[in-house]
Copies of this chain bind each other. A is one copy, B any other.
Amino acid sequence: MRIVVDVCGADLGYQEVIKGALMPLEAGKDFTLVLSGPEEEIRRRIDPRDVDKYGIEFLNAEEVITNDEEPVAAIRNKKFSSMVVALRALRAGEVDGVLSTGSTGALLAGATLIIGRIKNIDRAALTILVPGISGPTVFLDVGANMDCSPKQLVQFARMGTSYAKFLFGKEEPSVGLLNIGSEETKGNKLTLETYRELNMSDLNFVGNVEPNDILDNDFDVVVCDGFSGNLVLKTIEGVADSIGLVLKESIKANPLTSLGGFLAKPAFRNLKKILNSDEVGAAPMLGAKKPVFKAHGSSDRYAIAKGIVNLIDFIQAGVIEEITKTVEEETY
């Protein structure tokens, strides 16, 4: 098993990604680590004895794709960027999976343009695990496809189901449709039509999901168009941030509340776990022919390490093969 980790793009810098990438090796995980990025810079941050000991390899890449760049243009023009070099190695079969903390849009464009989509899948979807109170939910599309058709949402549901089978070990993961009400008659044109399509499918469709149900984790998979998904995701992050800010300031307001805040600290940590997407490591670009994982830009070493382990498990479980099979069996 050979895994490329793109060291560029993380908010905390190369050092943190490299530290995280080494952790699974140090813990005895059996795989070959390939680091893509400026080789000299990377080597300067690793103990040469570790390079020898673990047989770490390098894909030298001097360019970096940033978050501000138009994704498709960036993938096309920056052929020597750490991301493109990693994806090309994956396409060539030189490695088995890619993990990157870089631009989400560029990684998705790269997964589509360089790796290609699974047959019968119209669009790849950006997939995340929403942590939630009693466990994570597979949530897609959270930002790749702005305007979707009902047929695409059903494909997302199929891909999400295969992924949830692997993640949660369930035979028939439940699928929900993100909507503004639980009743069948609620929603816009897209959700009304998608409800009917999902209801007629062989998936374990259990109905509409209101956004709060995602955090309560009543469903294994929740599908929506990328605009709605991204909106919900950004709202969750925004509310969590605002709450954090207000609480912090209100708690600092006087000595008693400060003491209270200090004593209640473990409770706040608990909260962070539920809202923090880093807790779930990284998530795949579902629909790509080969394993491409996106880790949060704000990932620390532990999130990177967890993401690599997720990726290796994903490859070993054959999730992409499962999706390919399911989609081929699709009846329409």
Contacts and interface: CB of A to CB of B under 8 A. Distances in A.
Contacts of A247: 267-268, 271
* Complex copy number for this chain: 2
A113 interface: no
A225 to B, nearest CB: 8
A147 B189 contact: yes
A23 to B, nearest CB: 28
Interface residues of A, number: 58
Contacts of A62: none
Interface in A233-265: 234-243, 245-247, 250-251, 253-254, 256-257, 259-265
Contacts of A238: 210-216
Contacts of A239: 212, 215, 235-236, 239-240, 243, 275
A135 interface: no
B250 A266 contact: yes
Nearest to A259: B263
A166 B274 CA distance: 40
B267 A251 contact: yes
Nearest to A236: B239
A213 to B, nearest CB: 8
B188 A211 contact: no
A235 B232 contact: yes
A212 B246 contact: no
Contacts of A275: 239, 243
B235 A274 contact: no
A228 interface: yes
A260 B179 CA distance: 38
Contacts of A240: 239, 243
A147 B143 CA distance: 20
Tell me which of A147, A230, A242, A253 has the highest count of chain B C-beta atoms within 10 A of its own C-beta.
A242
Interface string A83-117: 00000000000000000000000000000000000
A227 interface: yes
10 contacts: A133-B246, A188-B225, A191-B227, A210-B234, A211-B235, A212-B237, A243-B271, A247-B271, A251-B264, A260-B262
4 shortest interchain CB distances as A-B pairs: A212-B238, A260-B263, A260-B264, A250-B267
Interface of A: 70, 133, 143, 146-147, 178, 180, 185, 187-189, 191, 210-216, 225, 227-228, 230-232, 234-243, 245-247, 250-251, 253-254, 256-257, 259-268, 270-271, 274-275
Given A212-B235, A215-B238, A215-B239, 20 more contacts: A180-B231, A188-B225, A210-B238, A211-B231, A211-B234, A211-B235, A212-B237, A214-B238, A228-B228, A231-B231, A231-B235, A240-B243, A243-B275, A247-B267, A250-B264, A251-B267, A254-B266, A259-B260, A260-B261, A260-B262
